Chains A and B, each alone.
Chain A
Amino acid sequence: MSVVKRPSSVSQWYLPGIFVGLYHTLKALLYNLSHRQKMQTLDYPEEKFEYSPRFKGTHVLTVKKDGAIRCTACMLCATNCPAQCITIIASEHEDPSVEKFPIAYEIDMLRCVFCGFCEEACPVDAVRMGPEWQIPGISGTNFVKGIDFLAFRSQLKGGISSVLDDQERHGQGI
C-alpha cells in the first residue's frame, strides 16, 4: 500500500534545505581536492574500470592451437539463447577430423541480455563471456558482431585458447 505524505508546513520552507545540500557538496569538493588519491571516480575514458575475469561481459570465441576457431557450429548456444541473438551458419570442413565449423557466427549485441547461457550451453569451451564491458559505437555502427570481432579483435591479442583440444582427446583415446 502506498502512503502519500502531505507536505508539512515546515518542508514548504525549502531554502534551508538548499543551503544544507550546498554545504554537503562544498564539503565533499574540498575533501576531494585535498585527498585526490582517495577519490572514488575515474577519469573516463582515459581510465577504465577493470572487472574480474569472471565478469560476464563481451563474448569471446576461443581458438584452437592452430589459430582456427574452436566452435563446431552445434547451435546449442543459439538454441539456449533466450534473446535469440545468435546466428550461426554451419559448413563442411575439408579436414574430416574437424568435419563441421561455422562460416558465420554472429551475435546481435543490442539484443543480447548478457545472461551467460551461451557459455553454459557450449560443450567445447568455444564461447566465453569476457571482462570487457563496453562495446562503443556511433550512430550507424553495426552491432551485429561476426567472427572477426568475437574471436580476433585487437584487445584479445591474437585470440584466447580453448581449454578443450580435440587432438589431445583423440590422443587419450576418448
Chain B
Amino acid sequence: MLKCTINGKEIEVSSGATIMEAYHKLQEEIAYYCWHPGLSVAGVCRMCMVEIEGNPKLQIACNTPVAEGMKITNESEKVKESVKWTLDFHLINHPLDCPICDQAGECGLQEFYMTYGKYNPEMGDRKVKKHKVVDLGSQVVLDTERCILCSRCVRFTEEVTKTNELGIFNRGDHSEIGTFENRPLNNKYAVNTVDICPVGALTSKDFRFRQRAWYLKEFETTCNGCSTGCRVNVFHNQNGLFRVKPIYDEAVNGHWMCDEGRDIYKHINLDQRLRHSKAGAQQVPLEKALETAKQALKAAGSSAALLITAQYTQEENQAILDFFSNELKSSNIFYWKNNEETFEDFDGLLIRGDKNPNTQGLMNLLKEKSASGSWKDLKAKVESGQIKTVLVAGPEMLSVYPDLNEKVTVLSKTQTIWLSTCEHEFFDQLSLQLPVSGFAEKNGTYVNYAGLERKIQAGVKFVAEALTLQEIVSAFRGANVSKTNEVAL
C-alpha cells in the first residue's frame, strides 16, 4: 500500500494504482474523456492534468502511477488553466450543433466547459468539415465532426468484444473514426460504444431523436433479458420507457451489457400491454375477473394446475407456489421451459441462451416443493381430461417464447386463467386473461445463473389494472383488490 495526498486529503492505494484510480477512490472530481475504468489507458485527451509537488510539469493522472508520499492536486490555477486550453483545442473543429445532438444535456464537452472552460475561443481559422450521419451498422450512427478522438470506442471493440471493427483513419485534424469496407459495426455489444462516447459522436439508432436527455428520469433495476441479470438504469418519463443503460456490477456484468438487453423496455410501454382483464376477446372488470378466477380455482381445488415460467420475481414465485400447495392442496405444478435446445448457450461475455431472469430462483423453489412436472406432463393430463382448470403464470417477454402458439392452442380447450403483461392475438382463445405488472413496475428479487440475488425496482406504473402475483394471490385469499392496487401505486 502506498500513501499519497490528493487535494489535501490522505489516501492509501495499492501499489501500481494510477493517480486517476486514487481520485476515483476518493470521489474527487477530475476531468477526463479518454480514460474508462473498463478499458486500457490511452492518455490521449490530456484533460486529467494534475500538479505533483516537486515536479515542474503537469502530469496526466490516468497514466501516472502513485508513488509513496506524493502530494497531488488538480485545484491549482496552473491545472485549471491547462484544462481550459486543452478543452479549447478539443473544441476547435467541434461543430457545436448541440441543438440537434442527442448527447446534449449529458455531454462531457458541455459539462467541462461549464466547470473549466468559459473562455472566448481564440481560433481564427475555419473549422475542418468531416462526415456527418455515418451509418456504422444496425445500431449506431457516427458523426465524425463531433468526435474528439478519445478512442474509447476503438479500444472497446479491440479489448472487450475483440471484433476490431472500428479504427482511426487519416492524420492530423483530418483524423476520423470509421469502419473498414464491408465490415460494419454489427457485434452484439455495439451500443456500449454509444454509452462510453463522452460526446455526441456515436448515437444509438433506437434512441436517436426520440427524447432529449433532460426529459428523462432514471431508476436502477436488473435486466430481465436473460439469466445473466445485468444491472441497468432504465430511463423513462410520463410518455413511457425510452432506453436502458448498464451500471457497473463487478460480479455480474462489469461495465457492459448486450444490445438485446437494450430492448427490454419496449414491452413495458402501453402499446404492447394487456391493459384490461378479458374473458375471451371480451373485456371484463378486474374485480369480476378475479372473482371468476378465484371461484374456478377453489372449485377445482387439488385438481387445479399451475403452469409457471421463470419470468417472475422470487417473491411472486413464492406467493403463487404457496397458494397452490397450502390453500388449494394441489401438487399439479408444471414448469414451462422455453427454447430448450439453446438453454445452456453462452457467448463468453454476457449473453446466455436461457432467456429468463429467474430460472435459478424458480428451480430452487420448485425443488423445495418437490415439483418436477413439465409441459409434457401437463399436456398429457389436459388431453386426458384429468386437469380442467389451469392457472398460467405466463411469460412477460413473449418474444423469447417461440412455442407460445402451441401452448395456447392446447390450453384453450380447458378453463385457463392466463396472467400476462403483454397482449397477444392468440390469447383471445383463452377463457380468462389477467394483466400483470412488468419488471419495471414491481419490487422483487431475481436470482441469476450463478445464484446471485439482484433486486428489481418499481419505477413506473403504466397499466392501472396490472397486479403482481402477490397481489393476485392476496385477492384470491379475499383481500380487496382496489385496496392492494392503491398500495402498489
Which residue of the partner chain, among A91, A92, A124, contacts B99 with CB atoms under 8 Å?
A: A124
- How far apart are the CA atoms of A172 and B212 in the complex, in Å? 29
B126 shortest CB reach to chain A, Å: 3
A68 shortest CB reach to chain B, Å: 15
B129 at the A interface (CB under 8 A)? yes
Best-surrounded residue of B99, B208, B215 (most CB of chain A within 10 A): B99
Which residues of A, 114-147, contact B by the 8 Å Cβ criterion? 123-124
Best-surrounded residue of B125, B127, B209 (most CB of chain A within 10 A): B209
Which residue of the partner chain, among B98, B100, B104, B125, contacts A73 with CB atoms under 8 Å?
A: B100
- Is the CB–CB distance between B126 and A173 below 8 Å? yes
For B134, the closest partner residue in chain A by CB is: A96
Question: Chain B 86-110, CB within 8 Å of chain A: the 1/0 string?
Answer: 0000000000011110001000000
For B131, the closest partner residue in chain A by CB is: A96
- Is the CB–CB distance between A96 and B127 below 8 Å? no
- How far apart are the CA atoms of A79 and B129 in the complex, in Å? 30
B128 shortest CB reach to chain A, Å: 9
B217 shortest CB reach to chain A, Å: 15
Q: A124-B99, A173-B126 given as contacts; is B212 within 8 A of A75 (CB)?
A: yes
A161 at the B interface (CB under 8 A)? no
- Is the CB–CB distance between B212 and A79 below 8 Å? yes
- How far apart are the CA atoms of A170 and B132 in the complex, in Å? 13
Question: Contacts of A96 on B, CB cut-off 8 Å?
Answer: 131-133
For B127, the closest partner residue in chain A by CB is: A173
For A91, the closest partner residue in chain B by CB is: B209
- Is the CB–CB distance between A97 and B127 below 8 Å? no
Question: Chain A 160-174, CB within 8 Å of chain B: the 1/0 string?
Answer: 000000000010111
Question: Contacts of A97 on B, CB cut-off 8 Å?
Answer: 132
Question: Chain A 46-62, CB within 8 Å of chain B: the 1/0 string?
Answer: 00000000000000000
- How far apart are the CA atoms of A91 and B98 in the complex, in Å? 16
State which size class the interface on B falls in: 10 to 19
Q: A73-B209, A97-B132 given as contacts; is B125 within 8 A of A173 (CB)?
A: yes
- Is the CB–CB distance between B100 and A99 below 8 Å? yes
Question: Contacts of A123 on B, CB cut-off 8 Å?
Answer: 98-99
Which residue of the partner chain, among A100, A170, A172, contacts B209 with CB atoms under 8 Å?
A: A100
Question: Chain A 65-82, CB within 8 Å of chain B: the 1/0 string?
Answer: 000000011111001000
- Is the CB–CB distance between B99 and A170 below 8 Å? no
- How far apart are the CA atoms of A68 and B208 in the complex, in Å? 22
B424 shortest CB reach to chain A, Å: 28
Which residues of B, 196-222, contact A by the 8 Å Cβ criterion? 208-210, 212, 214-215
Question: Chain B 109-138, CB within 8 Å of chain A: the 1/0 string?
Answer: 000000000000000011101011100000
- Is the CB–CB distance between B209 and A72 below 8 Å? no
- How far apart are the CA atoms of A76 and B100 in the complex, in Å? 11
Which residue of the partner chain, among B126, B208, B214, B215, contacts A92 with CB atoms under 8 Å?
A: B208
Question: Chain B 38-55, CB within 8 Å of chain A: the 1/0 string?
Answer: 000000000000000000
Question: Contacts of B99 on A, CB cut-off 8 Å?
Answer: 72, 74, 76, 123-124
Best-surrounded residue of A76, A90, A174 (most CB of chain B within 10 A): A90
Question: Contacts of B100 on A, CB cut-off 8 Å?
Answer: 72-74, 99-100
- How far apart are the CA atoms of A61 and B214 in the complex, in Å? 24
Question: Contacts of A74 on B, CB cut-off 8 Å?
Answer: 98-100, 104, 212
A109 shortest CB reach to chain B, Å: 22
- How far apart are the CA atoms of A73 and B102 in the complex, in Å? 11
Question: Chain B 379-423, CB within 8 Å of chain A: the 1/0 string?
Answer: 000000000000000000000000000000000000000000000
Question: Contacts of B209 on A, CB cut-off 8 Å?
Answer: 73, 90-92, 100
- Is the CB–CB distance between A79 and B132 below 8 Å? no
Question: Contacts of B208 on A, CB cut-off 8 Å?
Answer: 92
- How far apart are the CA atoms of A173 and B125 in the complex, in Å? 8
Question: Contacts of A174 on B, CB cut-off 8 Å?
Answer: 127
For A103, the closest partner residue in chain B by CB is: B209
For B141, the closest partner residue in chain A by CB is: A92
- How far apart are the CA atoms of A91 and B211 in the complex, in Å? 11
Question: Contacts of A170 on B, CB cut-off 8 Å?
Answer: 129
Question: Chain B 334-352, CB within 8 Å of chain A: the 1/0 string?
Answer: 0000000000000000000
- How far apart are the CA atoms of A160 and B210 in the complex, in Å? 28
Question: Contacts of A99 on B, CB cut-off 8 Å?
Answer: 97, 100, 132-133
For A171, the closest partner residue in chain B by CB is: B126
Question: Contacts of A73 on B, CB cut-off 8 Å?
Answer: 100, 209
- How far apart are the CA atoms of A100 and B127 in the complex, in Å? 21
- How far apart are the CA atoms of A91 and B212 in the complex, in Å? 12
- How far apart are the CA atoms of A99 and B208 in the complex, in Å? 11
Question: Contacts of B125 on A, CB cut-off 8 Å?
Answer: 173
For B97, the closest partner residue in chain A by CB is: A99
Question: Contacts of B98 on A, CB cut-off 8 Å?
Answer: 74, 123
The 5 closest A-B pairs by CB, nearest first: A173-B126, A74-B99, A96-B133, A100-B100, A90-B209
14 contacts between A and B (CB under 8 A): A73-B100, A74-B100, A74-B104, A75-B215, A79-B212, A79-B214, A90-B209, A96-B131, A96-B133, A97-B132, A100-B100, A100-B209, A124-B99, A173-B126
Given contact pairs A72-B99, A92-B208, a sample of 13 additional A-B residue pairs in the complex whose CB atoms are under 8 Å apart: A74-B98, A75-B215, A79-B215, A92-B209, A96-B133, A97-B132, A99-B133, A123-B98, A123-B99, A124-B99, A172-B126, A173-B125, A174-B127
